[in-house]
Structure formats: structure tokens, C-alpha cells
Structure 1
Amino acid sequence: MFSFLTELKYLFKRFVLIANVLPALLGFIIAAKYYDISFIDYLLPFGLLLVGSGMLVAGALTLNNWLEADVDKLMERTKQRPTVTGSLSLKTILGLGIALSIIGQAILFFINLEVAIYGFIGWYTYVVVYTVWTKRKVTWNTHVGSLSGAVTPLMGWAVVDSAMHPIPLSLFAVMFLWQMPHTYAIAIRKYDDYARAGLKMLPVVRGYDVTVRRTNIYLGLLLLTPLFVSGFSLIFYILLTVVNISWLVIGLSGFKWLPIKKWANLLFVSSLAYLLTVFLLFVLFV
């Protein structure tokens, strides 16, 4: 039993799973505070969101493993996945991915249609558009993957009310822009793996200099995100701007100020701190 759970840990990419489910839950919490609703009244929908989003994301990640079994064998970072070790058959992994995806999508549908639509958009863009169509062919595959992750706070907000609202849309923008530097940092850190596998990641195809420049474009665009949301206190905008500028300074240090791998490590760690801080600011000041 313990061995099977260990296999699931690698199959579901546990940290990626958490990183996709947590924004959905935080999106709900922010909406609940904004509309001043009782959490007890929404306990069931919140539970369905937790389970449904978790299963849908796990299903997408499992299918990603199944679709990339050939390239995973070429990369050091993925050598412990069941698709590489053979501890689970590819047929079993495919069946598990399909089952989790269907059940997760159905659970989200029981919350409401809008939540289910966002869930499907995230699943489809990640499994089909990102994994199947673009990851092996074009460098802008990262944009597609970013779209998949960016819909998660919309799911959480839509549990309470329509996500066609400036606050969840600003969170969507933050997550979309955030994922570009975050993913570029990973691609630089794991450059040899991606090059060996032939995946079209920007550093592999266009080099480090282009990647650093692109990274700073997205970090610069994050400075504009406070302009798209209103109704917060002045201290919120000040703190959010300080956080955005701080991350931009780290990004600018990639222009020959730091060795590229050290810069990528710093960018990666700071990206996690950045996203948690931004969501915390929204939770505290909404």
C-alpha cells in the first residue's frame, strides 16, 4: 500500500498538484471575504471544489505522464515516475488518468456550470494543447501551460459568484504572467534534461540571453496588474507594487550580474514566495 502511494506521489507530481489546487481554494476564500458570506453555508461546495479540482488536476497530470512516457525516460528529473520505472503499466496509468479526469470534472459540475467550464478549460489546455500539440513543437508552449494554471482562481471565485469580475480576472492575469518567469527558471535549471529530450523550451531553442529578456518583460507587465483592480486600500497597492518591483529587481540581476544557473535558482525560489505573498495580500485586504 505504501509503495502504491509512493508511485501516486510521482505520478501526480505532488507539488504541481498542490500548486494548481491551492489557487482555486484561495480564489474561493477571497470571494467569500469579498461577498461577506458564511463559510459554513458554503462548506459543501468548498469540499466539492477541493475534491473535484484535486481529482481533475491529478487526472491531467497522470495523462501528461502517460503521453510523455518516451521523453521522461531521457530526463534525470523524471526517472522515478512509474512510466519510467515500469512499476505501473501504461494501461493502468491511462485508465487512472481518464477516470480521475471524468470524476473530477463531474464533481465540479455539481457545484455549477461556470466552475466546471473553467475546470475543463484548464484540463484541455494542459493535456491536449500543451502536452500533445505544442510542448514538442514550439517555444510558446509555456504560454499554453500558463493559461491552464491561470484559470484556477477563477474556479474558486465562481463557486460564490461569476468570475467575470475585476478581482478574479486580475488574479488570472497575475498567475498567467507569473508562470512565464517561473517556468523559464525551471527550464534553465533543467536545461540538460530538456535538451536531451528534445522539448522546445525557450532556453534550449533560443538561448539564455533571450530567456532573460523575455523573463523581464513578463516581470515588468506584472507591475501593471494593480491598475486592473479597484476598491482596495492604499496600503494594498503600495505593498503589491513593492512586491512586484522586488521580483523585477531579481529578474534584472540576470543581465550578467549573476551566473545564469544561480540566477535561475534565485528566480525559481522567489517565484514561489512572490505568488504566496500576492495571494496573501488579496486575502488580507479584500
Structure 2
Amino acid sequence: MVDRSVSQQTAADQNIAIESFTGENKTTWRDYIEITKPGINKSNLFATFAGYWLATGFTSFDFVTLLFAMLGSGLTIAGSCTLNNFYDRDIDPLMERTRSRPVPDGRIKPSVALWYGIFLTTLGIIVLTAGVNPLSAFLGFIGFFVYVFIYTMWLKRTSTLNTVIGGICGSVPPMIGWVAGTGSLDLTAWALFLILFMWQPPHFFALAMMKADDYRAAGIPMLPIVKGFKETKKQTLIFTLLLLPSSYLLFYTGAVGWFYLVIALILGGVYIALAIKGFNTKEDDRWARQMFFYSLIYLTVILLAMIIDVAITEALQF
């Protein structure tokens, strides 16, 4: 015998999915902003700015170049996120946190989302090519390709490596900023990449634990769903341990000084301590929320530390 409540829920989910194709709900300009995931865009643009500032400081700062780098990066990220919303229109209605997005809620038709995403991405790549340099545009394209084709269309639905490999796209923005200021990919650019790359798995592992029921309902093979919370905690600790020496590479390349190094040591030490704490708690949801919240603090503060360190160094030279 089929559980009546389960049948009703399944029917409701199917109705939501069908409604996402009709576009019957009223569309507003806010929907066209929401579909680009502005929260993700803001954090990535902050990383882009940090990369550019690290490359130029006050001495060779060019506002026009920075403007084009930020605009091109923002448009490319916005387009990629829009295409992610378009492709995930079949699973977003199944998750509580995503079912009210413009496409599954029917406020933006899938076809509109598709062309909107293509337009934004193409425009972003053109702006980076013409306004900054071809290398920054190439990096932007790599970020787009990994996020849309490797992560969204492939790994997100097939492998627990989705978060790790998908982290490549989130590690590109500071590289774009650096390349905009220097025109080249050197060890410092890769150090910036490595910091963001090692930061992302613990960040998204925590989110996956917090939203485990949502991901399970949608059939997305996130690490906590497939391997369990214990394995997720182990991998979280591994990446936080790797993040600490990764953050020191910027000091090794000479891009930053002692101020940044001390801040990175404190931030990394606290992150590792929190990761270890996870093995001694039975309140997994509370721990995951602490880890997620701290990951946001870590990223914001370490990027600020880069910016402030460069400002301090140049001020001392006068």
C-alpha cells in the first residue's frame, strides 16, 4: 500500500515542476537579479578586487582597468549562475531552499533564463577581453565552463567530488584580479587560487550537512548524504589543515607581509580547532552551522588582511 501523504507530496512536487515551465507568476526586475545569485557574485567580486589590489596597490592602481575587471567578472559569474538556475529547474522544486527561485516558481520561463544566461556570460567575456586582457577573459571562461558544464551538468548529480572539483570556478576570481593588474599568471596568482580552492570544501560540506534533507530529497550525491557525517568531518579537517600552509604561500612569494601572515595563522588555527571539535560533538547540525558561519568570517577577514597588508606596506615606504 502506498503512503497517502507521500503520494500527495510527490504530486505536489510534480505540480511545482510543471509550473516552472509555464511562467504564469508575475515577473519583476528583482527576479532577473535574484536568478544571477547576487550573494555569490558579491563574495567573488570582493575576491577579484583583493587580487587586483594585491597586484597593484596604490602605485600602479588603474580605476578603469579595475572597473572592467569587476564588470566583466560580475557579468560572467551572473551568467553562469543564471545558467545553473536554468539547468537545475528539475531539481530545484524538490528542495525547500530553492523551490522559490524565479524559474521553479514560474516567474521566469526556462527559455528566458537560458538566453539571459548566455547573454550575460558572453558580454562578460567580451568585457574582460576588450577592457582588461585576453588572459583574464580566458580565466573567466574556465570558471564559467567548470561551473556550468563540469559542476552543474555533470558532477553535481553524479559524484561526491562535485564540491571539490566545482571549487575550481570559485577560485578563479582573485586570479582574474591579479592578472588584470599584472598581465601574467605567476606563483602569487596560483597561491590565491589555492587559498580559495582549499577554503571551499569545508564551506560547502558544512552547508551540505545543514541542508542534508534537501539534498537527499533531490537525489544530489553530496558527501554527507553518500558517505555520512563522520566521513564529512574527516574531509573537512583535511582541507582545513591544507588551507593553513596554502595561506602562507602569499608571504613566501613576497606579495604580503607580516600583518597578513599573523592574521592567516590565527584564522587557520581557529578553523582547524573548530574542525577537530566536530569529532567530539553529538550536535552535528549546530557544529555545521558554526563551521559554515566561520567559513564566511574566514574568507572575508583573510581577503581584508591582504588588502590592509598592502596598504600598510606602502604607507611605511613613504
Compute the TM-score of the two structures, normalised by the length of structure 1.
0.94
Cα separation, 1, equivalents of 2:43 and 2:287: 22
Cα separation, 1, equivalents of 2:70 and 2:258: 33
Which residue identity is paired with 2:117? Answer: G
CA contact (8 A) 1:163 1:169 kept: no
Do structure 1's residue 143 and structure 2's residue 164 form an aligned pair?
yes
Do structure 1's residue 106 and structure 2's residue 130 form an aligned pair?
no
Structure 1's 47 and 67: CA in aligned 2 closer, same or farther, altered over 3 A? same
Q: What are the equivalent positions in structure 2 for 1:170-249 lying under 5 Å apart?
A: 170-229=191-250, 230=252, 231=254, 232-249=256-273
Cα separation, 1, equivalents of 2:257 and 2:112: 52
Deviation at 1:168, TM superposition (A): 2.6
Cα separation, 2, equivalents of 1:59 and 1:152: 14
- C-alpha RMSD over aligned residues: 1.6
How many positions carry a matched residue from both structures? 281
Deviation at 1:226, TM superposition (A): 4.3
- Flag as ranges the 4+ runs of structure 1 deviating above 6 A: none
Of 173-182 and 80-89, the range deviating more from structure 2 = 80-89
Q: What are the equivalent positions in structure 2 for 1:55-204 lying under 5 Å apart?
A: 55-110=75-130, 111-204=132-225
Equivalent of 2:47 in 23, 45, 61: 23
Cα separation, 2, equivalents of 1:12 and 1:238: 36
**Secondary structure at 1:88 match in 2:** coil
Cα separation, 1, equivalents of 2:282 and 2:273: 12
Q: Which of these two proteins has the greater Rg computed from alpha carbons? A: 2
**Secondary structure at 1:77 match in 2:** coil
CA contact (8 A) 1:28 1:158 kept: yes
Cα separation, 2, equivalents of 1:93 and 1:134: 22
**Secondary structure at 2:166 match in 1:** helix
**Secondary structure at 2:157 match in 1:** coil
Equivalent of 2:59 in 24, 31, 36: 36
Equivalent of 1:263 in 266, 287, 296: 287
CA contact (8 A) 1:154 1:163 kept: no
5+ long unaligned stretches in structure 2: 1-25, 311-318
Equivalent residue number for residue 252 of structure 1: 276
Percentage of pairs with the same residue = 32
Which residue identity is paired with 1:198? Answer: G
CA contact (8 A) 2:198 2:239 kept: yes
**Secondary structure at 1:91 match in 2:** helix
Deviation at 1:71, TM superposition (A): 0.2
Compute the TM-score of the two structures, normalised by the length of structure 2.
0.85
5+ long unaligned stretches in structure 1: none
Cα deviation digits, residues 127-185 of structure 1 (max 9, x gap): 00001111100100111221000011000011111442333321211100000000001
